Amino acid sequence: MKREDLDKIRLHFRKNDPIIFKAMENLDFDEWIKPRKEKRDNGSDYFSALCHEIIGQQLSGKSATAIINRFNALFDKSIIDPKKLMAIDDQILRNVGMSWAKTKYVKNIADAYLTNTVQFTNLHELSDEEVIEQLTTIKGIGNWTSEMFLIFTLGRENVYSHGDLGLRKGFAKLYRIENPTQKQIEKVVSKWIPFRSYGSITLWHTLDSEVVEVNKKIMQNEK
């Protein structure tokens, strides 16, 4: 990420939400977000990213990486071939560590790609809402997976997933609100627009380290 872009984002949070700004001061966003590619060829990298999102669901980072690596090893290249995926026996996919449900879901994605049910090549041209609408037509992909795809694959900057339990836990920890309601969360998150994705990343980060000790004076001022 360019320094000037990062400075702009942090300035926005410093002005609008000093609590989360304190948490992101030393956060390296480049460790979370991969550089975006301007050219997407035939959409095969989007397809691969979705498969990886499905495989990694409800798993720790270490476990997800191990299974994804074994899954990738079934193909000649790191980009997953949807035709070959459809031809792989379900038990082989199960043997790399995927559940039966995830095995079915990645094949549903492959089918959507091969039948052009979803326009993978054009996803980057759609609005956030349109991307979610397209992807959720695939059985096995819901709003959460679509929102993760928006943030980590398309690099969209203004996404917050209310269905993400990690974000809810991070929010409760950072703002010291036990069992926050969606209304309470939205009141805060609305201040982050148009950079909600960076606020989301910061909340996930708070669960990975002890870098965040909320400034009590800031909390008192907010009240």
The string of pLDDT tens digits covering residues 9-26 is 999 999 999 999 999 988
Domain assignment present for residue 39? The answer is no
The most distant pair of C-alpha atoms in the chain lies apart, rounded to whole Å, by 60
50 has pLDDT over 80:
yes
pLDDT, average across residues 106-123: 95
147 has pLDDT over 70:
yes
**Are 137 and 50 within one domain?**
yes
Q: Give the CATH number for residue 116.
A: 1.10.340.30
Domain assignment present for residue 38? The answer is no
With tokens 């993760």, the residue in question is: 148
Query: Catalytic one among 17, 89, 90, 164?
Result: 164
Give which of 20, 88, 18, 16 is closest to 51, Cα–Cα: 88
**Are 77 and 112 within one domain?**
yes
Residue 218 confidence class, pLDDT cut points 50, 70, 90:
very low
**Are 89 and 182 within one domain?**
no
Residues 53-82 have pLDDT tens digits of 999 887 777 888 999 999 999 997 667 899
pLDDT, average across residues 126-130: 96
DSSP for residue 115: T
Q: What is the pLDDT of residue 43?
A: 80
Q: Give the CATH number for residue 213.
A: 1.10.1670
How is residue 129 written in tokens? 């809402």
Question: Is residue 111 annotated as part of the catalytic site, yes or no?
Answer: no
Q: What is the pLDDT of residue 104?
A: 97
Residue type, 21: F
Domain assignment present for residue 184? The answer is yes
What counts of helices (H) and strands (E) characterise the chain? 13, 0
3-state secondary structure of 180: coil
Q: How many domains does the chain have?
A: 2
Which carries the bigger pLDDT value, residue 30 or residue 95?
95
**Are 147 and 54 within one domain?**
yes
Cα separation, 156 vs 116, whole angstroms:
23
211: containing domain: 3-33+160-222
Q: Which long-range contacts (CB under 8 A, 24 or more apart) does 68-72 make?
A: 70/96, 70/97, 71/96, 71/98
Asked whether the beta carbons of 205 and 33 are under 8 A apart, the reply is no
**Are 186 and 145 within one domain?**
no
Annotate 82-100 with DSSP letters as a single string.
HHHHHHS-HHHHHHTT--H
Domain assignment present for residue 175? The answer is yes
Instruction: Please identify, among 106, 127, 152, the residue that sits at the C-terminal boundary of a domain.
Output: 152
Asked whether the beta carbons of 96 and 67 are under 8 A apart, the reply is yes
How is residue 79 written in tokens? 């980009």
Cα separation, 144 vs 167, whole angstroms:
12
Sign of CA dihedral 32, 34, 35, 37: negative
Asked whether the beta carbons of 181 and 62 are under 8 A apart, the reply is no
